[in-house]
Amino acid sequence: MAVAPRKAPRHAILIAGLSRDAREMYQEFFTWSGWSVTVAADSRAAFDLAVASCPDVVATSNRLRPRSGLELCEQLHSDPRTAAIPVIILTTATSNLDRERARAAGCAVLLIQPTLPRLLLTESRRLVARARRARRRAEAKGLLRTAARTEKPA
C-alpha cells in the first residue's frame, strides 16, 4: 500500500530551552501535526534562529540560559526583524507578579509546566490565526501592502 506524500508544513515554530526530552517530545508532536519545527537549547541560538527562520511562533522555557525566557521575549520584541513573532513562555512560576512580568515582556501566552503538547499546539494555532486576522484587517484598511500591489508589471 502506498503512503500519500506529506504536505509541506503550513506553519513554523521555534522551540527553545526545556529539557532535551521535552524539546524532542514537542518537536515530534508538532512535526506529526504538520508544522515545521526548529529547536534551540539556549537563548543565543534561539534568537539567531528566530532571525534566520522567522517562525510563526516561538515557544520557550522561562528557565532558559544565558538569558531567561522573559529576556528572550524582550529581545525578540525589541528587534524589528522578530518583533511580530508571538512568544509562548512555559513556566512553573504561577504568581500574579510572574504573569505581569510576562505581559510586560511582550509574552503572548504564559503556560504552566508541565504542558501537554496538544495545549501548546492549540495555543500556537490560536496565535497564528490571530496574526492572520490582524494582517487581513490591516490589508483591508490599506495599512499593509499586499504582494499583488507591490509587484511590478512585466
Please give the pLDDT value at position 31: 96
Nearest to 60, CA basis, from 81, 41, 84: 41
Query: What residues in the chain have per-residue pLDDT under 70?
Result: 1-9, 143-154
Query: Grid coordinates standing for 149?
Result: 500591489
Question: Which pTM does this prediction carry?
Answer: 0.83
Please give the pLDDT value at position 112: 93
Please give the pLDDT value at position 143: 63
Kindly list the structural domains of the chain, giving each domain's residue range(s) and its CATH number in brackets, ordered by start. Answer: 11-150 (3.40.50.2300)
Q: Report helix angle 117-140 to 20-32, nearest 10.
A: 60
